[in-house]
Amino acid sequence: MKAPGHVLETALYADDLDAAERFYGGLLGLEKVTRMGDRHVFFRCGQGMVLIFNPDESVKPPHNPAMPVPVHGTRGEGHICFGATADELRSIEKALLDADIAIEADFEWPGGGRSIYIRDPAGNSIEFAEPRIWGFGTETDD
């Protein structure tokens, strides 16, 4: 088997989908693709998707036999990291501060690259980082 080429979707869990929709769609500006009541809200992020599920709903069997997706879910704080250039990180930092979002951590990795960490309304750890923290690209648009 050939190794997968990229992550297509990432799932996080939130009890309050309205707050999640305001955060990911409003503050972060991700394009909302769909929302299904209080079960989930899905956002496009570049060539991938960020899926936000209500954990109380995603463990219920699907009502549509044409979509036999297995039940799934978790509880607790998850993590996602959005890639950003150094210039984009400065802009993100300003937008977060303007929105009174507390920055939990902001640091330079020993191997190069900066990360900013915050919490979404559900308590998930949200990171914005230069891809070079993982050795992707070497641009430093400073």
Report the sign of the C-alpha dihedral through residues 130, 131, 136, 139, in that order.
negative
Concatenate the DSSP letters of all residues of 86-114 into one string.
HHHHHHHHHHHHHTTPPP-EEEE-TTS-E
- Residue 135 exposed, middle or buried by CB count within 10 Å (0-12, 13-18, 19+): exposed
Q: How many Å apart are CA 136 and CA 113, to the nearest integer? A: 10
pLDDT, tens digit, 9 for 90 and up, residues 58-88:
888 877 778 778 888 888 899 999 999 999 9
- How far from each other are the two terminal CA atoms of the chain, in whole angstroms? 40
State the pLDDT at residue 6. 86
The verdict on 134 and 83 lying in the same domain is yes
Among residues 78, 72, 103, 77, the alpha carbon closest in space to that of 90 is found at 103
| Number of structural domains the chain divides into | 2
State the pLDDT at residue 68. 79
The answer as to whether 65 is a domain residue is no
State the pLDDT at residue 3. 79
| Residue 55 pLDDT class (50, 70, 90 cuts) | very high
pLDDT, tens digit, 9 for 90 and up, residues 87-97:
999 999 999 99
| Residue 139 pLDDT class (50, 70, 90 cuts) | low
Say what percent of the chain tops pLDDT 90: 77
Better pLDDT: 63 or 22: 22
The verdict on 82 and 137 lying in the same domain is yes
Which CATH number is 2's domain given?
A: 3.10.180.10
Q: How many Å apart are CA 42 and CA 83, to the nearest integer? A: 19
State the pLDDT at residue 69. 80
Q: Is residue 134 predicted with pLDDT exceeding 60?
A: yes
pLDDT, tens digit, 9 for 90 and up, residues 25-48:
999 999 999 999 999 999 999 999
The verdict on 49 and 5 lying in the same domain is yes
Length of the chain: 142
- The boundaries of the domain holding residue 15 are 1-60
pTM equals 0.90
